[in-house]
Amino acid sequence: MGKRNFQVFKRIVVKVGTSSVAHATGKPNLFKIESLVRQLADLYNMGKEIILVTSGAIGTGAGKLGLPGRPRTIPEKQAAAAVGQGVLMHIYEKLFAEYGVTVGQVLLTREDFSDRKRFLNARNSLHAMLQFGVIPVINENDTVAVDEIKLGDNDNLSALVATLIDAELLVLLSDIDGLFTADPRKEKSAQLIRDVTEMTPEIEALSGGAGSKLGTGGMATKIQAARIAMHSGTVTVITNMEEKNIIRRVIEGEAVGTVFWPCANKMENKKRWIAFSSSICGKIFVDEGAARALAKQGKSLLPSGITRVEGSFDIGNTVVIAGPDGTEIARGIVSYSSEDIERIKGAQTRDIARILGHKDFDEVIHRNNLALEL
């Protein structure tokens, strides 16, 4: 566990939720947005690189369109997002401009992370914006996103963005002070957990995961985001947006919120992409020996250890590798298609050319293209 000295960090991702930028009516909460912008502009003036991930487009759009509540159908949500996105950006642009700061809108979908080429393009684009002294204002592209390509929530999006650009700090602004031992709104004895150094089953249970009665409302996605960030070498802080000058206080190391400290072994960029961003296209089942070789000995996956193939996928796709009991043990990029793997499963490496008529690789998945289940 490190000391809370975050002033040395240069690149910071800040995420705000809908409740932080909009009233219950759907209209923008100008007081909160103004406070947020002032804090971020001040950090910018200190020489920090700031990336803002903001929710609120659909809610704001619904308010602008005079809808009675949050839209239900995908076309209605997309229409509300199209209107709300413009309203939100206009407000951010206007308020940041008062402090002499330029902002740029970035809209992302899951495909921008799951396709390696698009992932690298998005990374280069954000780097260029930061070099120009622009604050990227990022949201999920709800105008075109349907369920198949949605990231699902902006907590997850902010963690993927932090991973994408190697941010040092991720601040998740919430309507709760941090992670508690129980739901503080229901149990007065609930204690705030100040530091998390390891994502244990107990910590996961506090997020309201399967079989848990301790759910702390909206915390599940924040824990998931923190988990991604921890393996990417990023410090994550969950804290309350309502607190005065909260971002400055986090940066200065005040004991506010819950800090999730990075794991000792930071994953390299490509493996982080495999583990967290890429789309899963199928599943390969392996025997006990292969499972052990992958998990304990850092080996590549050879055809001899494969027992079953599920799904249809091509060379270069990402698949889940499952042990004999079906539990996920790793993810990796395949060197052969599902059709070819079906034919060579259980065979020795020397027999690949005879079975397929060609042999491009000895390994079905090379260890450099493997990310072990975390």
Q: Is 258 annotated in some ligand binding site?
A: no
Query: Do 150 and 110 meet the contact criterion of CB atoms below 8 Å apart?
Result: yes
242 CA to centre of own chain: 24
Question: Dihedrals φ, ψ of 215, to 5°?
Answer: -50, 130
Start-end of H helices in 231-308 = 246-251, 269-272, 288-297
Q: Is 20 annotated in some ligand binding site?
A: no
What letter does residue 24 receive in the DSSP assignment?
T
Q: Is 175 annotated in some ligand binding site?
A: yes
Query: Do 229 and 260 meet the contact criterion of CB atoms below 8 Å apart?
Result: yes
Q: Is 221 annotated in some ligand binding site?
A: yes
Q: Is 154 annotated in some ligand binding site?
A: yes
Name the residue among 207, 205, 225 with its Cα closest to residue 216. Answer: 207
Name the residue among 1, 27, 138, 8 with its Cα closest to residue 84. Answer: 27
Contacts 24+ apart (CB under 8 A), 109-114: 109/140, 109/141, 109/144, 109/145, 109/149, 109/150, 109/151, 110/145, 110/149, 110/150, 110/151, 110/279, 111/149, 113/151, 113/160, 113/164, 113/273, 113/277, 113/278, 114/277, 114/278, 114/279
Q: Is 216 annotated in some ligand binding site?
A: yes
Q: Is 219 annotated in some ligand binding site?
A: yes
- Mapped onto helix, strand or coil, the DSSP state of residue 36 is helix
Q: Six-digit token pair at 155? A: 């907590």
CA distance 288 to 305: 8
CA distance 154 to 24: 19
Could you give the C-alpha distances from 1 to 4, 11, 199, in angstroms and in order?
A: 9, 20, 13
Q: Is 55 annotated in some ligand binding site?
A: yes
Q: Is 15 annotated in some ligand binding site?
A: yes
Q: Is 222 annotated in some ligand binding site?
A: yes
Name the residue among 87, 60, 88, 58 with its Cα closest to residue 75. Answer: 58
Name the helix (H) or strand (E) containing 238.
strand 235-240
Q: Is 220 annotated in some ligand binding site?
A: yes
Query: Do 96 and 134 meet the contact criterion of CB atoms below 8 Å apart?
Result: no
Beta partners for 260? 196, 236
Q: Which residues are annotated as a binding site for substrate?
A: 55, 142, 154
Q: Which residues are annotated as a binding site?
A: 15, 55, 142, 154, 174-175, 216-222
Q: Which residues are annotated as a binding site for ATP?
A: 15, 174-175, 216-222
